[in-house]
Each structure stands twice: as C-alpha cells, then as structure tokens.
Amino acid sequence: MQRKAIFGGRALPYALLLPQLAVTLVFFFWPAGMALYQSVLREDPFGLAAEFVWFENFAEVLSDPGYLQSLRTTAVFAASVTLLSLSAGLFLAVQADKVRRGAGLYRTLLIWPYAVAPAVAAVLWLFLFHPEIGLLGRALNAAGIPWDYRLNGGQAMALVVLAASWKQVSYNFLFFLAGLHAIPASVLEAAAIDGAKPVRRFWTVVFPLLSPTTFFLLVVNLVYAFFDTFGVIHALTRGGPGNATETLIYRVYVDGVDNLDLGGSAAQSVILMAIVVALTAIQFRYIERRVHY
C-alpha cells in the first residue's frame, strides 16, 4: 500500500535526502570509519606516530582479563537496568491505565524524568544517596546500615542501576500505556466473565497481548543500558570503586581519554558497534515479522 511520489527530475529527490545523508555521514559514517581505521593502528599518545598492526588491538582487548570483567559488569548492569525499568514502567502503566480522573496529569508527571539530562539525573541521585550530604544516604548510615557507594562496589552498582533505570522508566511507561490502550476492552470483559480474577487476567491475557511492546522495549532498554548510560556512571561513580561499575562504554572512554590507548579504545568501539548492529538486526527481524500472536 505504499504510494510512490512522482518527481519531475532527479535532482529534487536527492536534494531532499541530502540534509539527512549529510548528518549521517558526518556524525556516524565518518567517526565510525575513523574508529575502524584506528582500531588497526597503534599510535603513540601524542598522535605523532602510527603503526599498522592488523588485529593486534582486538587480540589484546579480548585477552585482557579487565575487559572480560568489564563485559561481565556490563551484562549485570544491562540486565538489571532492563529488568528494573521494564517492570517499573509496566507497573506504573497498569496503575495509570486504571485512573480515569486526572489521567492526563499522572501521565505528564510520569513522563518528566525522560526530559532530564543524564548527568542532572545522576546529580539528583547523588544528593539522595551521598553518604555525607545525601538525604537517604545519611538516613541509612544513621539507621546503622553502613552505606557508602564510594567504597562498596555492590552499593555503587545498585546506585547506578537505580539512576539509569529511573531515566528509562518514563519511556517504558509511555509505550506500555499505549500498548494497554490497544487491548480491546471486550477481551478483558470476556476474561472477567470467563471467571478470571484481575491478577490472573493480567498474566494470562494482558501480559501476553503486550508481548510485542515488551519485546520492542527489551531491545531498546538493552541498547540504552549498553550505550546511553555513560553520563550517569561518569557523574556518580566514574566506573569505581575499583572497576565495580566500569561498563564497556565507560571503559572505551577511560582507555581512550585517560589512558590514551587510542588503538585499544577504537577496537573496543568497533566491538560495541558490532553489538548494537546485532541488537538492531534482531529487533527489526522480529518487529517486522510480528511473531507474537
């Protein structure tokens, strides 16, 4: 059912595509190409000399136990963020869906966190959980629970997971709410008449019917946790304590900017690029096919 627009000449369609192509070229293909190129070079920190080393950088990165540790950290971080933000988003959407009066207000308020910049969000959580100046941080210590995310790796991970998830909950909330609206009321009524109580109705009818939304969000949230959480981690823990919260994306920054290992950093970027390509491919494949029901 796609309609083809008819253009008189060849110039106009290309001219219309040009701005988008230019943006993609300058901000994606060029840096991506540079990363690919640098990933096979060994450069001195000042960029004065470069040596072509084939895949040595990749071999080094992949055999580095620190990198593998970072991969595990990322897996834990991404899984936690995805699970937490998805379930919180779903819970809030289900609650907001029940509300009739003031529904618009709830919706607007729940969407706000998405408009907050990652670093600002992180500072907000910092003010809550800082062991000396944070409201909750102080309260925890006062209650006899030793809390200092600057020393305790587990606590640091919990905090960045919390902050990163909080940012993403709004997004999930919106999509889940739209998904809930798309379920015909009569199907739920039929289930009610069939004898299903609300909780059962949710797990046997609502949740399965949300599966297209859930799957889409699963991929989006994984991509978010992998690639868009640099700001939160940087502002809260800087990858520490030790390497407890050093995810792959954070390590690219540390190795490239702090350690000035340009080749190694580029090789890591290329690996991350491969991961995001794989995730996107999975998403397109399944969203297009609508395998869900």
Partner 1 sequence: MATLALEGIRKSFGPVEVLHGIDLDVADGEMIVMVGASGCGKSTLLRLVAGLEVPTEGRILIGGRDVTALEPAERDIAMVFQNYALYPHMTVFGNMAYGLKIRGLPRAEIARRVQEAADLLGIGALLDRRPRQLSGGQRQRVAMGRAIVREPKLFLFDEPLSNLDAKLRVQMRAEIRRLQRRLGVTSLFVTHDQTEAMTLGDRLVVMNAGRAAQVATPMQVWSRPADVFVAGFIGSPAMNFLDATLTHGGTAATLRAGPVLPFADGRRAGPEGMGLVLGIRPEHVLAAAPGEAGEWEAAVTVVVELAEPLGSETVLHGRLPDGEELTARLPAAEVPALGGAAQVSLALRLPAAALHVFEASGGRRLDPVA
Contact footprint for partner 1 (CB under 8 A):
184, 186-187, 189-197, 200, 204-205, 208-209, 211, 292-293
Helix pair 56-63, 65-98: axis angle to 10 deg:
70
Minimum CB–partner distance for residue 242 and partner 1 (Å): 46
Return the number of the residue (212 or 241) whose C-beta is nearest partner 1.
212
Q: How far is the CB of 2 from partner 1 (least distance, A)?
A: 23
Helix (H, G, I), strand (E, B) or coil at 12: helix
- As a whole number of Å, the CA-based R_g of the chain is 23
Q: How far is the CB of 204 from partner 1 (least distance, A)?
A: 7
Would you tell me how many other CB atoms lie within 10 Å of the CB of residue 69? Answer: 15
User: What is the nearest approach in angstroms of partner 1 to the Cβ of residue 291?
Assistant: 11
Task: Give the nearer residue to partner 1 in terms of CB position, either 151 or 291.
Answer: 291
Nearer to partner 1, 198 or 242 (CB): 198
Q: How far is the CB of 185 from partner 1 (least distance, A)?
A: 9
The angle at the Cα of 99, spanning 93 to 103, to the nearest 5 degrees, equals 85
| Helix (H) or strand (E) segment spanning residue 51 | strand 50-52
**Closer residue to partner 1, CB minimum distance, 27 or 181:** 181
Task: Tell me which residue of 269, 202, 278 sits closest to 40, measured CA to CA.
Answer: 269
CB closer to partner 1, 204 vs 280? 204
Burial grade of 202 (CB within 10 A; 0-12, 13-18, 19 or more): middle
